[in-house]
Amino acid sequence: MSIRQMIEQLTLLTDKKCGTGATAQDVADAESTLAVRLPATYKAFLIRFGWARVYGDPVYGVGPSVPAEYGLIPSTIRERYDAYPPLPHSFVPFMNDGTGNHYCLDTARFRGDECPVVFWDHEHEDGPNQTPEQV
């Protein structure tokens, strides 16, 4: 799916709330603070919307309109340092499943401008040694 198609599909959804968008500097600051490169499609989402709530599920973001509980930077830092099992530093959680698990960008495995999305299970029997499932 292209970035344009992704944005068009999100725009067409009826059960959503979106932010006003982030600046390129907001996105660059997030990459710098988290010490990762974000994929092109997620950057486009951040610049266009900043954050979203789709069918009740938050998509974390950055920018002036993002509610505190949907902030990408604090969510990532909290999952890296305060949660157990701690999130690997190459993972960027962008959506919580409502039970403490996260859909994450695996920024260690880029192909071109994109990286896979994986599911981090906070109750996985292998804890921090789990191999998250790609979704």
Give the pLDDT of residue 87: 95
What b/e string do you get for 61-75 counting C-beta neighbours within 10 Å, with b at 16 or more?
bbbeebeeebbbbeb
State residue 133 phi and psi, 5-degree precision: -75, 130
Kindly report, residue by residue over 38-67, the tens digit of the pLDDT.
999 999 999 999 999 998 899 999 999 999
Please state, rounded to an integer, the average pLDDT across all residues of the chain. 92
pLDDT at 84 over 70: yes
pTM of the model: 0.90
Pick the closest to residue 58 from 71, 46, 44, 45 (CA basis): 71
Between CA 20 and CA 131 the distance in angstroms is 35
Give the pLDDT of residue 127: 83
Judging by beta carbons within 10 Å of its beta carbon (0-12, 13-18, 19+), is residue 116 exposed, middle or buried?
middle
Residue 67 to residues 62, 63, 84, 91, Cα–Cα distance (Å): 9, 9, 24, 21
